[in-house]
Amino acid sequence: MDKQLPNEELMVKIAKGDEYAFQILVERHQTSLLNLIYRFLGGDRTKSQDLAQEVFLRVWQAARSYEAKAKFTTWLYRIVVNICLNELKASRRKKWLRFFQVDREEQGVGEEDFSGEEPSPEDQLLSKERSREITEALQRLPENQRMALVLKRYDDLSYAEIAGILNCSVSAVESLLVRAKKNLQEKLKIS
């Protein structure tokens, strides 16, 4: 099978039970999903991996009903957003939501977490404190602002793509991002 097939064609094959097509789809999107979930949840690597698996399980289960009405990644990220928000709600009810884990040696920060590349010890020392401050400030943002900011800043999605994922208008996304940036700047000044 051609690994260059578009996501939509892979979904057609997955709907027919093609496990190899599913493997290609997972390999193609796993790192970006892991990083998105990791950033949104504030640095819990194990929980991020568990939720990414749940995302792909839902993709497998929904393959037969998938319709390419929107861009595939918009559909996929909508699943991620729903799973992340559900996780936050469940965590609040159980009062075991952790915004940031201090054990940085095991977890690292950002893209390095899942890309397989290790930052130098010097880079780790220089960025550790600032990363902690940013992560803590990001976790104090309202959920919708945090998700919009993560999708724009780290995944470099367009306003239209974010609007599709968050199920709102482009102007609402613009407003969310303006408020998120302002709130984040204020929280970083306090830190």
* Residue showing tokens 């929904």: 62
One domain, residues 92 and 142: no
Contact 179, 187 (CB under 8 A): no
Could you read off the pLDDT of 21-70 as tens digits, one per residue?
999 999 999 999 999 999 888 878 899 999 999 999 999 999 999 988 88
164 has pLDDT over 80: yes
CATH number, domain with residue 178: 1.10.10.10
Task: For residue 116, tell me if it sits in a domain.
Answer: no
* Number of domains into which the chain is organized: 2
End-to-end CA gap in the chain? 52
| 70: Cβ contacts below 8 Å, ≥ 6 apart | 164
* Residue showing tokens 């991020």: 48
One domain, residues 136 and 90: no
Task: For residue 171, tell me if it sits in a domain.
Answer: yes
* Residue showing tokens 């990644």: 73
- Please tell me the least confidently modeled range out of 49-53, 86-90, 95-99: 95-99
